[in-house]
Structure 1
């Protein structure tokens, strides 16, 4: 009995191919929990479709990925002076976001990140004259820019990349390769047309692996079903059951990521109202679970346990049976499955 990730493999791979065709020279990204699939599975997929380069989040991920993928590895987290050294093969490429970082990587393969409107990390325009001398001691693989998902100033991602291309050109820096994130296919094509002597490579994770929501589905196995009456006490804290129905124990708990939710940026009154309503219900121990039974998301009876959750199903719905599987609406990047099934 398990929390299972079911993958419609043919459909999932067809979506991969559609993205690869839209973004020539794509750099697939495999970081964190491997977008819910795991690093080993994504490394297999990248090897299968023949990419020469795989982007990972950290040096620790690169150290694991080197045994899973035979091509080059791009580490996205920028190098910092004084960081813990992690042995990596020569096919590893380090991102760098400062002149000092470039100087600390003599002889290494590097990609220099420029500061975008994300304002997260990157080289500033005023540092470009110093950078010109520093890159003589490294093997420069290109420059990179990480763009925001939303823009509120009327500009486009193409505008921002083009502005940086002109700054780099004015500083007489080599422009053979530019790695970009969060551009649409037509925007990438416009840049490629505008700068034909530069190779633009899109770093893509979410769109590549999770772009077709119907290609994957989580399901949790029902482990136990107990009939209860209103007022019966149950669970660790011996709370009272709110009505007649069933306590349903289902595979999937905090160790799987069930009950975890990343903060969201809310836009508009309706999402804010829904958020306030959820917060209000939580104060009286009413929390909606990700598990669906008989067409409805069911309430947690109590906070999820480490490897299972207890749900309350009222008696106006049929009782699930041990061995049934409940669909679970879970976020891939925060979920760890027990097993993955291709079908």
Structure 2
């Protein structure tokens, strides 16, 4: 019995092709847990659709994936002086976000990240004049600009890219390739029209691999079903059942990522109100699970265990049977499946 990721492979790949046609020269990203599919699977997919570059998060990921992908490997985490050396092939390309970092990578292939409005890392406008001498000792693959997802101030993503292109050109820095992220196909068309001599390459992960939500589905197998009466004690903490029903043990626990949730940026009254309501329920041990039965997400009976979760199904709902599978609404980037089934 397992937590299974089911993939409608034909639909998933059709979505990939749609995205690739919209973004010529796209650089697929495979980082973290491989967006829920695993590094090896995404490396195979990138090879299948003919990508020449695969972007990974860290040097450690690059070292693991180098035997699964024969093209170039773009490491997205910027190089830092004094970092632990990781043996990588010459086809590895390092991101750099400082002049000192460029100087520390003599002879290496590099992509230089400039400081976007995200303000996470990157070479600043004031540092651009220092890059001239520094880039003479590296093999420059291009510049990169990592853009925000939301623009609450109404600013234009394309204008931000144009501003940086003008800055680079004013400092007589090469503009043959620009790596960008979080732009639309229409945005890229505008940039290509204004800078026909520059090759714009979109780095993309989430939209490429997870853009068609109906192409994938997690399901947890039911392992046990136990009838319980109101007032009966159960579980590790021996709490009492609030009403009659069934305890349903289902595959999928904390080791799979069940119960993990990242902080959300909430905008508007209703999302904030829902957040407050969820927090209030949690204080009385009422936590909604990701598992669905009879058309509704069911409550955790107690916090998820390492490899299973225990759900409470009320008596007015027919209980599932051992061997049934419950759909689970899980976040791909934090979930580890037991098995993947193509269909």
| Bucket of the pairwise TM-score, normalised by the shorter protein | over 0.9
Separation in structure 2 between the aligned mates of residue 273 and residue 128 of structure 1, nearest angstrom: 46
Correspondences of 1:157-172 after superposition (within 5 Å): 157-172=157-172
Separation in structure 1 between the aligned mates of residue 150 and residue 289 of structure 2, nearest angstrom: 30
Separation in structure 1 between the aligned mates of residue 276 and residue 269 of structure 2, nearest angstrom: 10
User: Deviation digits for residues 190-227 of structure 1, max 9, x if unmatched?
Assistant: 10110000000000000000000000000000000000
User: Deviation digits for residues 229-279 of structure 1, max 9, x if unmatched?
Assistant: 000000100010111110000000000000000000000010101000000
Separation in structure 2 between the aligned mates of residue 152 and residue 251 of structure 1, nearest angstrom: 41
Does 2:54 align with 1:54? yes
Separation in structure 1 between the aligned mates of residue 249 and residue 164 of structure 2, nearest angstrom: 55
Separation in structure 2 between the aligned mates of residue 66 and residue 222 of structure 1, nearest angstrom: 38
Correspondences of 1:183-332 after superposition (within 5 Å): 183-332=183-332
Aligned to 1:31: 31
User: Deviation digits for residues 24-74 of structure 1, max 9, x if unmatched?
Assistant: 000000000000000000000000000000000000000001011000000
Correspondences of 1:101-140 after superposition (within 5 Å): 101-140=101-140
Aligned to 1:5: 5
Aligned to 1:77: 77
Alpha-carbon offset, residue 153 of structure 1: 2.5
Alpha-carbon offset, residue 155 of structure 1: 1.7
* TM-score, with structure 2 as normaliser: 1.00
Aligned to 2:14: 14
Could you say what secondary structure the match of 1:12 adopts? helix
Separation in structure 2 between the aligned mates of residue 333 and residue 41 of structure 1, nearest angstrom: 14
Alpha-carbon offset, residue 154 of structure 1: 2.4
Alpha-carbon offset, residue 152 of structure 1: 2.3
User: Deviation digits for residues 298-318 of structure 1, max 9, x if unmatched?
Assistant: 000000000000000001100
Separation in structure 1 between the aligned mates of residue 124 and residue 153 of structure 2, nearest angstrom: 20
Aligned to 1:144: 144
Alpha-carbon offset, residue 96 of structure 1: 0.2
User: Deviation digits for residues 144-199 of structure 1, max 9, x if unmatched?
Assistant: 00000011222211000000000000000010000000000010111011000000
User: Deviation digits for residues 92-126 of structure 1, max 9, x if unmatched?
Assistant: 00000000000000000000000000000000011
Could you say what secondary structure the match of 2:136 adopts? helix
Separation in structure 1 between the aligned mates of residue 71 and residue 247 of structure 2, nearest angstrom: 50
Alpha-carbon offset, residue 319 of structure 1: 1.0
Separation in structure 1 between the aligned mates of residue 63 and residue 23 of structure 2, nearest angstrom: 27
Separation in structure 1 between the aligned mates of residue 65 and residue 181 of structure 2, nearest angstrom: 21
Could you say what secondary structure the match of 2:55 adopts? strand
Separation in structure 1 between the aligned mates of residue 246 and residue 152 of structure 2, nearest angstrom: 49
Separation in structure 1 between the aligned mates of residue 333 and residue 275 of structure 2, nearest angstrom: 21
- Aligned CA RMSD, in angstroms, stands at 0.4
| Structure 2: gaps (5+ residues) | none
